[in-house]
């Protein structure tokens, strides 16, 4: 179990990109693997799982499927390790067991295009 908490960090949590490419460059299948993996992690979210009539299905902000340059990816926030170390191990072992490429990076927000006058 991790001994640090999110408030103890001297740096912001990093993000790890699990790419849908094997180490040999082949596309990982099935094609919806990213959505499946992120769906399995959906209960790990700030405030826990919602229930009742206002509950809805959604991904955890700590494990988000995306596509970059037509490559399926899952962006995993390092904060997941502090919240639930076993969930972090699960996604990292998934990547290792399937020989997927893993890259440390930071997902930047989209910048709106400047308005031309």
Structural domains in the chain plus CATH codes: 13-45+58-105 (3.30.70.2340)
What number is the average pLDDT over the span 10-29? 88
Confidence of residue 110 (pLDDT cuts 50, 70, 90): low
Helices (H), the chain: 33-40, 79-83, 85-97
pTM of the model: 0.75
What number is the average pLDDT over the span 54-79? 88
pLDDT at residue 44 in the model: 85
Confidence of residue 14 (pLDDT cuts 50, 70, 90): confident
Question: Which pLDDT tens digit goes with each residue over 70-104?
Answer: 999 999 999 999 989 999 999 999 999 999 999 98
């Amino acid at each position: 179990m991790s001994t640090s908490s999110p408030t103890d960090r001297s740096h912001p949590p990093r993000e790890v990109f699990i790419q849908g490419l094997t180490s040999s460059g082949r596309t990982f299948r099935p094609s919806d693997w990213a959505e499946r993996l992120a769906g399995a992690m959906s209960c790990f979210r700030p405030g826990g799982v919602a229930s009742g009539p206002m509950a809805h299905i959604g991904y955890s902000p700590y494990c988000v499927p995306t596509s970059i340059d037509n490559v399926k990816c899952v962006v995993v926030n390092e904060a997941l390790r502090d919240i639930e170390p076993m969930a972090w191990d699960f996604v990292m072992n998934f990547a290792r067991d399937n020989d997927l490429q893993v890259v440390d990076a930071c997902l930047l927000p989209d910048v709106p295009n400047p308005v031309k006058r």
